[in-house]
Amino acid sequence: MKTVVVTGANGFIGKNLCATLQQQGEYQLLKVTRKTTTEVLYGYLKECDFIFHLAGVNRPQDEKEFFEVNADFTAQLVQILKENNRKVPIVYTSSIQVDRDNPYGQSKKLGEQALLEYAKTGAPVYIYRLTNIYGKWSRPDYNSVVATFCHNIARDLPIKIDNSDAEINLCYIDDVVEEFLRALEGNPTVQGDHCIVPVSHPITVGALADTIRSFKESRNDLFIADMSNPLVKNLYSTYLSFLPEDAFSYPLKMNVDNRGSFTEIIRTPERGQVSVNITKPGITKGNHWHHSKNEKFLVVSGTGVIRFRKVGADEVLEYHVSGDKMETVDIPPGYTHNIENTGDTDLVTIMWANEPYNPEKPDTYFLEV
């Protein structure tokens, strides 16, 4: 079992990495935080097989902290390894700002230089110049514009945009962790001499804000964003992680009458609509047909019968359905159809339609089965 040291274990990246390593259960994990003493650190570095050096600051109250943490602590770590003649592989989280003339970039550059000197001993060193990492457990108003936008928009707070056309490259935390695991197993994605940049996705600041606003609005219009787009999919997951803890649920509009109810759950522009239909005992719903629209019915509770008749024909087809034996029934176009509750309790049916309901083009025509 490999012994793995993670510095900055309580930070955004560290928490996600440690959670993954602990979940796998294949590694002995040694966490280094601000409370870890030099003596304990010394002991960790003498026995570890791999180091994730994630500790760093990017918004300190005093600029000297940039150099104390990003540069001096890295130099201390390297010195301990050299003193013990240890050649331990190291992953280091640097920044694209290393070539910029600012304290943060300068301190990260010094950290890189210390590790590149250490690499001359033969120790594998993997330097990741990260940019705009986002995902669960990131901190708003600190290390992620995505976190700030998600936190504020979820709470109806204003966001500040200086240039909506400015393009940024976003790295998702799960992609970063997956890359780190490849490095841990000796298969990092190397680009250049020690310098690695995980997969990223470009987006303008304005488009980012609009996308996150659409997530909030989806509770009203029920439209779910395109989850086939990896950036949108990951942004949505991140947004949900920033919901206020008293706002995980939201009401839906129930269309209720004496026959039961019909409630839309989800709409998508490319994958159709999902609804739940409740039919009271003895009630029949439907008796209509469609030219092109098609549906799937899944009874999850109660008992009933779904009837079909091809338009222009006399034969009636019957499918008996029950929540005790779940099966999906396809509703093809050109067949008038209905569903009857034949039991003593409510008949609950999950319904999928291949397109969201459009009142201007309903494609629904009354005809008794």
Active-site positions read 104
The residue written with tokens 């274990």 in the block is: 9
The residue written with tokens 């592989």 in the block is: 89
For residue 128 the two structure tokens come to: 């990741």
Cα–Cα distance for residue pair 20/187, rounded to 1 Å:
18
DSSP label at residue 297:
E
Cα–Cα distance for residue pair 199/211, rounded to 1 Å:
20
Taking alpha carbons only, the member of 157, 86, 94, 162 closest to residue 128 is 94
- 311, amino acid identity: V
310, 276 Cβ separation under 8 angstroms: no
Question: Which DSSP string do the residues of 112-166 spell out, in sequence order?
Answer: HHHHHHHHTTT--EEEEEE-SEESTT--TTTT-HHHHHHHHHHTT-----S-TT-
CA dihedral 59, 62, 63, 69 (to 10 degrees): -70
CA distances from 124 to 28, 186, 224, 257, 347 (A): 20, 9, 44, 69, 63
β-strands 133-134, 167-172 pairing: parallel
- Residue 51: in which H helix or E strand, if any? strand 50-53
**168 CA to centre of own chain:** 18
Cα–Cα distance for residue pair 89/123, rounded to 1 Å:
6
